[in-house]
């Protein structure tokens, strides 16, 4: 995303969800907020798929942007869903807003066929998916987070 202007609503992050093993419904998503921005300088979060808002969050909770889906988002087998996160940005310019998924448990999913939680892999390096011992976690590399600077 472009660097957001303070005093406005702007895209602050984006992500893609990929499904490679049966349909999955997403009920909640938690993005860790890092960078130099103050958590009180971001509010009114909206996660959109295209022009449709699919999840909302009001404020940062314990360092996380918690986005709840009023209607679960369905990601079908073999498909990808591109999502964009916007927020109202206040505060001063020159602050960084960094967001990322820290752990697989930061995405609450359900396998609608079995009615149980679905396995989540957040490793960008896991070609073909994760295994039982490696579901991924944030490793600090630039390929695993999104960062913008307020202006």
pLDDT in tens, the chain (151 residues): 888 989 999 999 998 888 777 888 899 999 999 889 999 999 999 999 999 999 999 888 889 999 999 999 998 888 888 999 999 999 999 999 988 888 778 888 888 887 777 767 666 554 445 555 555 555 555 566 677 777 7
| CA 20/CA 80 separation, integer angstroms | 9
CA-to-CA dists, residue 144 to 1, 15, 103, 110, 128, angstroms: 15, 10, 12, 24, 17
| Paired tokens of 26 | 């997403």
Max Cα-Cα span within the chain: 48
């Amino acid at each position: 995303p472009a660097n957001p202007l303070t005093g406005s609503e702007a895209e602050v992050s984006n992500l893609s969800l990929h499904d490679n093993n049966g349909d999955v419904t997403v009920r909640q998503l938690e993005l860790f907020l890092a960078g130099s921005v103050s958590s009180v300088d971001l509010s009114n979060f909206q996660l959109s798929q295209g022009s449709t808002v699919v999840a909302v969050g009001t404020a940062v909770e314990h360092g996380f942007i918690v986005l709840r889906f009023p209607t679960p988002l369905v990601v079908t087998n073999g498909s990808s869903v591109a999502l964009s996160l916007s927020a109202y940005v206040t505060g001063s310019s020159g602050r960084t807003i960094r967001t990322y998924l820290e752990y697989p448990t930061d995405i609450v999913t359900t396998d609608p066929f079995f009615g149980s939680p679905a396995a989540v892999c957040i490793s960008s390096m896991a070609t073909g998916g994760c295994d039982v011992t490696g579901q991924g976690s944030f490793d600090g590399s630039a390929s695993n987070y999104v960062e913008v600077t307020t202006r």
